[in-house]
Structure 1
Amino acid sequence: MSDKSTAENMLDAAKAKVNEGADRLREAGHNVAHAVTGDAHHKAEALEDRAKAEVHNREANAEYTEGKREAKDGDGH
């Protein structure tokens, strides 16, 4: 991680959570499309979006943890 302030880390964590939510919504849409059409392409896209969501979840957790650490050490950077 770079040397960011608590606020910057928390903002990045929030952005990652928003991206995770968007990925999970796309995954759900592709799963519905797959159920309706049976097209395997939709299932593949759903799996890809799920993987992206998991990456964003890990990023959010890491940024949040770093932000908490930064807040406790008191230097603000």
Structure 2
Amino acid sequence: MSDDKSTLGNMADAAKAKINEGADRAREAGHNVAHAVTGDAHHKAEALEDRAKAELNNREANAEFHEGKQEARDGDGR
């Protein structure tokens, strides 16, 4: 994030982080279903781990988006 990227680069990174967030949330849901079916605590732990990863990806996406927006406002777009 701290390197000087173009607006497009920031927006692409934000989109990638959002896709990763969605994948993490899908895995979380799968582990929650597995936990509900089997009662295995291992699935619950994996669900919590995936939730944490999703939250990190969400924060990264927001930061990249805002940085890209700021870069676009700067006028140079690079």
Give the alignment's TM-score, normalised by structure 2.
0.97
- Partners of 1:22 and 1:76 lie apart in 2 by 30
Compute the displacement of 1:75 (Å). Answer: 1.3
SS of corresponding position for 2:5: coil
- Partners of 1:31 and 1:63 lie apart in 2 by 30
Structure-1 residue corresponding to 2:70? 69
Structure-1 residue corresponding to 2:3? 2
Identical columns (%): 82
Structure-2 residue corresponding to 1:52? 53
Matched residue type, 2:34: A
SS of corresponding position for 1:54: helix
| Number of aligned positions between the proteins | 77
Give the alignment's TM-score, normalised by structure 1.
0.98
Gaps of 5+ in 1: none
- Partners of 1:25 and 1:2 lie apart in 2 by 31
